Structure 1
Amino acid sequence: MTHDEWTPVTPENCHTVAGPFFHGTRADLSIGDLLVAGFRSNYRQDVVMNHIYFTTIPKGAGLAAEIAQGEGRPRVYVVVPTGDFEDDPNVTNKRFPGNPTRSYRSREPLKIVGELESWESCEPEFIENLRRFVESGSGEIIN
């Protein structure tokens, strides 16, 4: 898909985006739990998140889980949005034309409906470099 073919995902048209959807974290959660905004970021403890972020790409959710702070093991949950959502402005048209990462955010909860046992991982050096970059606060965070 070229940038010219891309249609922004907004609360008005988000129902047209097909899942499944995934959320990566180190939190030990259960099927039926709700992920809600208003808690500290998985990446920077000084940031309280106004949105919950998710993707349609398991590897992307896995990367998010692998760089998340915390003691638990990285986990990728299968989630269902309970309300409207939009493109993640942290990556959409900022770092990449369109939304090739298929990343979204919502102010409404995400319901956990499953957990992936495995996913394709990134190279360990890339994960560590990205973790250091995020923890340094060098990256812009829009919440």
Structure 2
Amino acid sequence: MTEALDEGPFFHGTRAELAPGDLLTAGYASNYRPEVTMNHIYFTALPDGAGLAAEVAALNSGSPHVYEVEPLGEFVDDPNVTDKKFPGNPTRSYRSAEPLRIVREVAEWKRLSPQELQMWGERLAAIREDDDKEIIN
């Protein structure tokens, strides 16, 4: 028997308007490289981390939303964050090829300032232009 990576609760940030019981699945465009269709769905155990993802997703259009989610299958550390930037996974970031079920929308999470949003927009533009900035899919 293997130990769980994290007991949660878990959160996902998006611009999609969802309801409890809805399922999040892989197969959609990356928030960081829209030309890449993602094979996994990403989530974190930190509400503010999900909030950052929601704000970044909403840069494209829409309003940011953070949801508490329940993984419906196995999940692993997100190699885009843990292997490249934060060994040991202090960001508590994960991904799964299996769906996540929406538990509820979360109202309390740290919002980015206009300056922070601009900085993230610039970082994303730089990532999109740099072919060496690969997303591990």
TM-score range, shorter chain: 0.7 to 0.9
Q: 2:90 aligns with which of 100, 105, 118?
A: 100
Specify the alignment match of 2:135 in structure 1: 141
> Aligned-pair distance for 1:126?
2.6
Q: Which amino acid aligns with 1:18?
A: E
Structure 2 gaps of 5+ residues are: none
Q: Secondary structure at the match of 1:77?
A: strand
Identity among equivalent pairs (%): 57
Pairwise CA distance, 1:36: 0.4
Instruction: Give the counterpart of 2:121 among 117, 131, 135.
Output: 131
TM-score (norm 2): 0.86
CA distance in 2, matches of 1:16, 1:140: 25
- TM-score w.r.t. length of structure 1: 0.83
User: Structure 2 CA distance, aligned partners of 1:16 and 1:91?
Assistant: 15
Residues 1-143 of structure 1: pairs in structure 2 closer than 5 A: 13=2, 15-68=4-57, 69-136=59-126, 137=128, 138=130, 139-143=133-137
- Aligned partners of 2:64 and 2:98: how far apart in 1? 23
Amino acid at match of 2:101: K
CA contact (8 A) 1:22 1:56 kept: yes
Whole-Å separation in 1 of the counterparts to 2:123 and 2:53: 13
Tell me whether 36-45 or 118-127 shows the greater mean CA deviation: 118-127
| CA shift for structure 1 position 45 | 2.0
Q: How many residues are treated as equivalent by the alignment?
A: 132
* Cα RMSD, aligned residues only: 1.8
